[in-house]
Structure 1
Amino acid sequence: MSVIVYYTSITATAELERQQNGIKDMLEALKIPHKLMDLSQDETLLGEMRKKTGNPKALPPQVFYGDQYCGDYAAFANAMEYEKVEEFFKAQCQQKQ
């Protein structure tokens, strides 16, 4: 099982692009296997992402470990602030299984 990030390649704001790139860059830096799901390429992915988060208004980026929800960008930023990024992607997500 690997980390799945729901994101969009068509961003409306520079802030959204920065958030998405921050998550993707950290996954690559930590060499954590991941899959990127581009909401702009498949219209069914937005509904799938929102259903999995349990939030009908959830916006990208959203992070999962398999089908287990890890969090959004705010949760990721919090993990960065407390130097717990690797745990956010690995241990935190795995514990929720």
Structure 2
Amino acid sequence: MVIRVFIASSSGKLSIKKQQQDLLGLLNVLHIDFEQHDIAVNEEDRRYMREHVPPDHCPPSGIPLPPQVFNGEKYCGDYESFFDAKETNSVYAFLGLTPPPGSKEAAALAEQS
């Protein structure tokens, strides 16, 4: 499966820009392959993101905001979920990926077994 990150390149909200940079930066640092989908320039990507984010993960307005993360067709979460995973060293679990040997997450899984 491919990790797909839905972003908005022309967002006027500084908080969204920072969240996108944080998420994409960590994926790059961890050498996790991903596809970036810009909802600001591609209507099909915008429609897909809005239709596939579960209703219980949408804000009160009902319209999900980027960044949103999917593993293939499976919804992983929004920035808040990603941030929580980052703080608890469970980014690979958040993404539905097997952690690489030697990572903190792999060591934590080994301790649990």
Sort the TM-score into its range (normalised by shorter chain): 0.7 to 0.9
* Structure with more relative contact order (C-alpha pairs < 8 Å, separation 6 or more): 1
Instruction: Give the 5 Å matches for 1:15-94.
Output: 15-55=15-55, 56-91=62-97
Structure possessing the higher radius of gyration over alpha carbons: 2
**2:77 aligned counterpart, secondary structure:** strand
Number of aligned pairs?
92
Give the alignment's TM-score, normalised by structure 2: 0.74
**1:59 aligned counterpart, secondary structure:** coil
**1:6 aligned counterpart, secondary structure:** strand
Residue aligning to 2:9: 9
Structure 1 segments (4+ residues) deviating >2 Å: 89-92
Structure 1: distance between partners of 2:36 and 2:87:
24
Instruction: Summarize the Cα distance change of 1:16–1:83 in structure 2 as closer, same or farther, 3 Å threshold.
Output: same
Unaligned runs of 5+ in 2: 56-61, 99-113
Alignment RMSD (CA, Å):
1.6
**2:94 aligned counterpart, secondary structure:** helix
% of aligned pairs identical? 32
